[in-house]
Structure 1
Amino acid sequence: MAPTSAPWRTDDRPSPTASTAPKPAPRTTEPRVSRPAPTGLWALIIAGGYAAGLAADAIGLPAPYLLSSLLVGAVLALCGGIRDRLPAPANRASQALVGALMGSYLTPSALVSAAPVALPLTVVTAATIALSVAIAWFLARGGRISRPSAVLGMVPGGSAAIVTCADELNADVRLVAFTQYLRVGLVATTAPLAAHWMTSASSAAGGHPAAGGAAGSGLLHLVAGSDQLTGLVTLAAIALVGSWAGRRLRVPTPVLIGPMLVALVATFSGALPGFAPVGVLQNVVFVLVGLDVGVRFTRQTLLSVRRLLPPILACMAVVCLGCAGLAWVFAGVTSIPFTDAYLATTPGGINAVLATAVSSHANVALVSTVQSLRLLVVVLVTPLITRRLAAGRRPAPLTA
Structure 2
Amino acid sequence: MRFHQRLGGRAWRRVLGPPAWAAVLSVMVGAGELGESAIPSSHMLVPLLGGLVAATTGLVRQRPPALLSRGSQSLLGVLMGTYLSTSALGGVAGSAAPLIVVTVATLLICQGAAWVMVRFSGVDRATATLGMIAGGSAAAVASAEDLGADSRVVAFMQYLRLGLVVASTPLLLNWVLSRPRDGAGPSVAAGPWHLVSGHDQPGGLVTLAIVASAGLMAGSRMRLPSPAMMGPMLVSAALTATGAVHGFAPSGTLRTLLFTMIGLDVGLRFSRQTLWRLRRILPLALVGSVTVSAACGASAWAISAVTRIPFADTYLATTPGGINAVVATATSTHANLPLISSVQSLRLFGMAFLAPLLIRLTLGRPSRDPSATP
Identity of aligned residues (%): 32
Distance 2:125 2:38 in 1: 42
Q: Is the 8 A contact 2:152 2:267 kept in 1?
A: no
In structure 1, the residue matched to 2:61 is 83
How is 1:100-111 mapped onto 2 (pairs within 5 angstroms)? 100-111=78-89
In structure 1, the residue matched to 2:227 is 254
Count of aligned pairs: 348
In structure 2, the residue matched to 1:66 is 44
Structure 2: gaps of 5 or more residues: 1-6, 135-139, 332-336, 365-371
Greater shift in the superposed pair: 301-310 or 245-254: 301-310
How is 1:17-36 mapped onto 2 (pairs within 5 angstroms)? 32=10, 35-36=13-14
How is 1:285-364 mapped onto 2 (pairs within 5 angstroms)? 285-304=258-277, 306-334=279-307, 335=309, 338=312, 341-342=315-316, 344-346=318-320, 353-360=322-329, 361=331, 362=337, 363-364=340-341
Distance 1:148 1:64 in 2: 28
1:221 aligns with 2:190: no
Q: TM-score, normalised by structure 2?
A: 0.76
With over 3 angstroms needed to count, the CA separation of the structure-2 counterparts of 1:369 and 1:145, relative to structure 1, is same
1:373 aligns with 2:350: yes
1:48 aligns with 2:27: yes
Q: Deviations over 1:308-361 (max 9, x none)?
A: 4433443344334433443444455442664664465517xxxxx233245433
Q: Is the 8 A contact 1:199 1:210 kept in 2?
A: no
In structure 2, the residue matched to 1:183 is 157
Residue 164 of structure 1 and its aligned partner are, at CA, apart by: 4.3
Counterpart of 2:122 (choices 137, 145, 148) is 145
Residue 261 of structure 1 and its aligned partner are, at CA, apart by: 1.9
Q: Is the 8 A contact 1:345 1:371 kept in 2?
A: no
Distance 2:306 2:267 in 1: 36
In structure 2, the residue matched to 1:21 is none
Greater shift in the superposed pair: 283-292 or 66-75: 66-75
Residue 48 of structure 1 and its aligned partner are, at CA, apart by: 1.4
Distance 2:130 2:79 in 1: 27
With over 3 angstroms needed to count, the CA separation of the structure-2 counterparts of 1:339 and 1:80, relative to structure 1, is farther
Q: Is the 8 A contact 1:52 1:68 kept in 2?
A: yes
Q: Is the 8 A contact 2:8 2:61 kept in 1?
A: no
1:277 aligns with 2:250: yes
Q: Deviations over 1:37-70 (max 9, x none)?
A: 333443222111211233234x465544334333
Distance 1:340 1:92 in 2: 35
Residue 244 of structure 1 and its aligned partner are, at CA, apart by: 1.3
1:207 aligns with 2:169: no
Structure 1: gaps of 5 or more residues: 1-28, 167-172, 348-352, 388-397
Residue 84 of structure 1 and its aligned partner are, at CA, apart by: 3.4
Q: Is the 8 A contact 1:105 1:364 kept in 2?
A: yes
Distance 1:212 1:296 in 2: 39
Q: TM-score, normalised by structure 1?
A: 0.71
Residue 234 of structure 1 and its aligned partner are, at CA, apart by: 0.6
- Secondary structure, counterpart of 1:35 in structure 2: helix
In structure 2, the residue matched to 1:12 is none
CA RMSD of aligned residues (A): 3.8
Larger Rg: 1
Residue 239 of structure 1 and its aligned partner are, at CA, apart by: 1.0
